[in-house]
Amino acid sequence: MRLFFSGLRKLVRRPATWVTAGLLIGLLVLIIVAVGATANGRAVRANGAEAKLLVTFPGAYDRILQFITGLGGLFAVIYGAAIAGSEWSWGTLKSSVARGESRVRYMLITYVTVAVMIALGLLITFAAGVVAAIVGAHLAGVSTSGLGDSATLSDLPERLLKGWFAVVEEGALGFTIATLARSQLAGIGAGIAFYFGEGFASIFLPDIVKYLPFSVANASLATASSGATTDAFGGGASGLPADQALVLVGVWLVGALVLAALFSDRAEIAG
């Protein structure tokens, strides 16, 4: 527990934590408020009704969550890579090992703290998105009567938990890539390339890509009401059932963390 709480304190002070969360919140709020402010404008009158769906409750809850888990996956990759890469470049892993700490335990607990910070970031971002949607609804002249819809609110905890699990899996990929590369920049660059590369590959190899980490994370969030989520490029989600995709999310998550832990345990720590 000592290592866990010290890791949390360290992440709270890291600029990467605040920059990542701030960018995601800023983009979400900006988009929602802009949609609400322009939904009745002349330039978007043709699709104004569709635009208003983003600020119409209770459906706005689901759309905000889709935005967060979709774009949040990319931010999680970057954040996980930044944290893992710093363990090597800043020498914190070396210092912990010198004090007698197990490498495997240290790396796994480090990612647990990352997962906790991701959970807090998602909750804060979701709350900010809901507030922005209320503001956007008033700007668009849309009723907020669905804000307290009991059926939707009762489903929100499960949806948020699944969203967190999917984003944590994506963050684990960035964490592992940076660990293998022992570099923040290499981990972030490779993670971003992997994220967008999988999206492009889905055009040509959909039957293979649907089993890859970002696709299964996306598919695991599909609901009967939403029909399907969208991928990083606005296309349809993979054809995997949500329950099956959720299992594969767990497989990719565990596999990534085991690989990171094993590499850290055997790697030479120079410097």
Residue 257 in this model has a pLDDT that exceeds 90: yes
Quote the pLDDT of residue 148.
86
Could you count the other beta carbons within 10 Å of the beta carbon of residue 90?
11
Residue 177 in this model has a pLDDT that exceeds 50: yes
Residue 225 in this model has a pLDDT that exceeds 90: no
Mean pLDDT of 42-64: 74
How long is the chain? 271
Mean pLDDT of 8-21: 91
Residue 76 in this model has a pLDDT that exceeds 70: yes
160 closest CA partner among 113, 104, 231, 223: 223
Quote the pLDDT of residue 41.
65
Residue 161 in this model has a pLDDT that exceeds 50: yes
Q: Which residues contact 141 (CB under 8 A, 6 or more apart)?
A: 40
Residue 237 in this model has a pLDDT that exceeds 70: no
In three-state secondary structure terms, 230 is: strand
Q: Are 217 and 166 in contact (CB under 8 A)?
A: yes
CA distances (Å), origin 262, targets 94, 126, 146, 168: 16, 35, 49, 19
Pull the structure tokens for residue 87: 């363990």
pLDDT band at 232 (very low <50, low <70, confident <90, very high): very low
Q: Are 231 and 219 in contact (CB under 8 A)?
A: no
Among 8-12, 166-170, 204-208, 222-226, which stretch is predicted with the lowest mean pLDDT? 222-226
Quote the pLDDT of residue 233.
39
Residue 198 in this model has a pLDDT that exceeds 60: yes
Q: Which residue has the tokens 């408020």?
A: 33
The DSSP letter of residue 46 is: G
Quote the pLDDT of residue 143.
87
Number of H helices, E strands in the chain: 11, 0
Pull the structure tokens for residue 6: 């010290």
Mean pLDDT of 93-120: 89
Quote the pLDDT of residue 265.
84
In three-state secondary structure terms, 267 is: coil
User: Taking all residues of the chain, what is their mean pLDDT, rounded to a whole number?
Assistant: 86
Residue 85 in this model has a pLDDT that exceeds 60: yes
Could you count the other beta carbons within 10 Å of the beta carbon of residue 207?
9
Quote the pLDDT of residue 50.
66
Q: Which residues contact 61 (CB under 8 A, 6 or more apart)?
A: 130, 152, 153, 156
Q: How far apart are the first and last CA of the chain?
A: 28
pLDDT band at 230 (very low <50, low <70, confident <90, very high): very low
Mean pLDDT of 33-54: 70
Q: Are 132 and 82 in contact (CB under 8 A)?
A: no
Quote the pLDDT of residue 229.
46
Quote the pLDDT of residue 48.
54
In three-state secondary structure terms, 182 is: coil
Residue 160 in this model has a pLDDT that exceeds 80: yes
Distance, CA of 55 to CA of 32 (rounded, Å): 7
Quote the pLDDT of residue 224.
46
